[in-house]
């Protein structure tokens, strides 16, 4: 993946040359599904060591994206409405824009909901049930915290010993770049055992960290009470489904639907695959989501939505809204569909 700086420059060239605007009619497709995670004041603008800042944006930027798509003539739809429209096919009016937020962060209720209300914009939040229970080992947050709060790390991970100085931000960034891919690649249960064990050794209350960031079930119900909000499922444990055997992947998908339905007292019709890229969800998972009875499921495969996706409602692509790219001109370039067309080698539907 090119660096943030290189991508920003590419986006600027496409924007200021007018290429994005000229090519939009060819590549923008029928609509866009945005993928966000966290929304809070200052979100994504953290300086120094903040490897998870890309997951956050400010409430102002969320408002700017909604205004941008409205200004470009997009219709704001819920995910289910967009899926129904794709399925029905036929003549097409304006393109649609759908807003989704993954995991179920507390700030979705506190900071994102008021923005969606102000714009009368529907949205879906995908809840991981153990996060709402407050006992999920969110390894990416724990590892960040461990590195941020130490002068050195000396630990065993996946059979190797790591001794790394973490005195300043650049050393911390190196430690993150070394350790996070190893932890991410570990088998899912080992990864969570490691997170709990080493988190505790470092004085971190792993579950308290989860509870402080994530909505409780009462908060999920409060959010769901707003007519603009829909709640979707995001598995029980936020495991990479592709790394699980089929029986466990099936349980993660089906049981999360059932559990949220029990908590909310209403059907859950949409699903998001944890991590969601082609390393974390493929045809087997798309089939399992269909079997579980979801009307629509979303990946994080980068792309805009085309007519052809009507045959692949369990594998819809999304556009990630990153804290590192909080400028409407970057979003406008992404909405042109040109970066997605280049990335997908001009293949509109990528579900393999
Ligand atoms: Zn997630």
- Please state the separation of Cα 192 from the chain's center in Å: 20
The alpha carbon of 244 and the centre of ligand 1 are apart by a number of angstroms equal to 16
Check whether 156 has a pLDDT greater than 60: yes
Cα(238) to ligand 1 centroid in Å equals 6
Question: What pLDDT, on a 0 to 100 scale, did the predictor assign at position 2?
Answer: 64
Q: Which residue has the higher pLDDT, 347 or 179?
A: 179
**What mean pLDDT comes out for the span 234-238?**
98
Q: Is the pLDDT of residue 292 over 60?
A: yes
> pLDDT at residue 282 above 80?
yes
Q: What's the 19 CA to ligand 1 centre distance in angstroms?
A: 33
Query: Rounded to an integer, what distance in angstroms lies between the CA atom of residue 134 and that of residue 52?
Result: 20
Instruction: Determine the distance separating the centroid of ligand 1 and the alpha carbon of 148, expressed in angstroms.
Output: 22
Q: How far apart are CA 4 and CA 157, in angstroms?
A: 28
pLDDT at 214 (0 to 100)? 98
Which among 62, 32, 86 has a CA at the least distance from the CA of 303?
32
The answer to whether the CB of 277 falls within 8 A of the CB of 299 is yes
Span of 155-169, 232-246, 334-348 with lowest mean pLDDT: 334-348
Cα(102) to centroid of ligand 1, in Å? 5
Q: Percentage helix, strand, coil, to 5, in the chain?
A: 50, 15, 35
What is the distance between the alpha carbons of residues 347 and 55, in angstroms, rounded to a whole number? 27
Distance between CA atoms of 300 and 5, rounded to whole angstroms? 22
Ligand 1 centroid vs 190 CA: distance in angstroms?
Answer: 19
Average pLDDT over residues 224-232: 98
Angle at Cα 141 formed by Cα 108 and Cα 183, nearest 5°?
A: 135
Question: In the chain, what are the domains?
Answer: 4-131+218-343 (3.20.20.370), 139-208 (no CATH)
Ordered DSSP codes for 243-283: GS-HHHHHHHHHHHHHHHHHHHTS---EEE-SS-STTT--H
Question: What is the number of H-type helices and E-type strands within the chain?
Answer: 16, 12
What is the Å distance from ligand 1's center to 242 Cα?
Answer: 14
Q: Model confidence over 70-125: pLDDT tens digits?
A: 999 999 999 999 999 999 887 778 999 999 999 999 999 999 999 999 999 999 99
* Distance, CA of 79 to chain centre: 14
- C-alpha 141 – ligand 1 centre gap (Å): 12
Q: Give the pLDDT band of residue 1 (cuts 50, 70, 90).
A: low
Q: pLDDT band for 350, please (50, 70, 90 cuts).
A: confident
Q: For the whole model, what pTM was predicted?
A: 0.93
Q: How far is the CA of 103 from the centre of ligand 1 (A)?
A: 5
Q: Among candidates 106, 101, 107, which has minimal Cα distance to 125? A: 101
Q: For residue 347, what are the β-bridge partners?
A: none
Predicted confidence at residue 337, as pLDDT, reads 83
Per-residue model confidence (pLDDT) at position 9: 74
Over 80: is that where the pLDDT of 230 sits? yes
State percent of the chain over pLDDT 70.
Answer: 99
Give the mean pLDDT of the chain. 93
312 C-alpha vs ligand 1 centroid, how far in Å?
21
Question: How much distance in Å is there from the Cα of 240 to the middle of ligand 1?
Answer: 10
**Band of the pLDDT at 217, cuts 50, 70, 90?**
very high
Q: Does 17 or 188 have the greater pLDDT score?
A: 188
Q: What is the pLDDT of residue 161?
A: 95
Residue 325 has pLDDT above 80, yes or no: yes
Q: How far is the centre of ligand 1, averaged over its atoms, from the C-alpha of 36 (Å)?
A: 10
Measure 1 CA to ligand 1 centroid, in angstroms. Answer: 20
């Amino acid at each position: 993946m090119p660096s943030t700086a290189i991508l920003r420059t590419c986006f600027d060239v496409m924007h200021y040359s007018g290429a994005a605007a000229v090519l939009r009619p060819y590549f923008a497709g029928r609509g866009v599904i945005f993928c966000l995670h966290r929304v809070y004041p200052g979100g994504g603008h953290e300086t120094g060591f903040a490897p998870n800042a890309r997951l956050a944006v400010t409430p102002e930027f969320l408002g700017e994206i909604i205004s941008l798509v409205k200004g470009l003539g997009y219709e704001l739809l819920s995910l289910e409405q967009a899926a129904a429209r794709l399925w029905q096919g036929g003549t097409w009016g304006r393109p649609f824009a759908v807003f989704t937020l993954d995991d179920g962060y507390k700030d979705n209720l506190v900071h994102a909901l008021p923005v969606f209300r102000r714009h009368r914009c529907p949205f879906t939040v995908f809840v991981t049930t153990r996060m709402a229970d407050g006992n999920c080992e969110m390894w990416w947050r724990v590892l960040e915290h461990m590195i941020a709060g130490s002068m050195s790390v000396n630990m065993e991970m996946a059979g190797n010993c790591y001794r790394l100085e973490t005195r300043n931000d650049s050393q911390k960034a190196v430690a993150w770049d070394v350790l996070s891919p190893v932890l991410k690649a570990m088998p899912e249960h080992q990864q969570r055992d490691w997170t709990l064990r080493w988190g505790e050794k470092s004085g971190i209350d792993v579950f308290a960290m989860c509870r402080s960031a994530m909505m409780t079930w009462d908060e999920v119900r409060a959010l769901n009470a707003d007519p603009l909000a829909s709640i979707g499922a995001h598995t029980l444990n936020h495991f990479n489904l592709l790394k699980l055997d089929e029986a466990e992947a099936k349980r993660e998908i089906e049981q999360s639907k059932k559990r949220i339905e029990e908590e909310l007292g209403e059907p859950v019709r949409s699903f998001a695959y944890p991590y969601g890229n082609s390393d974390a969800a493929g045809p087997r998972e798309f089939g399992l989501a269909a079997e579980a009875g979801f009307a629509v499921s979303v990946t994080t495969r980068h792309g805009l939505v085309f007519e052809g996706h009507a045959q692949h409602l369990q594998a819809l692509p999304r556009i990630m809204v990153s804290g590192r790219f909080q400028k409407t001109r970057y979003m406008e370039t992404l909405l042109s569909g040109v970066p997605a067309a280049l990335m997908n080698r001009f293949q509109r539907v990528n579900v393999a």
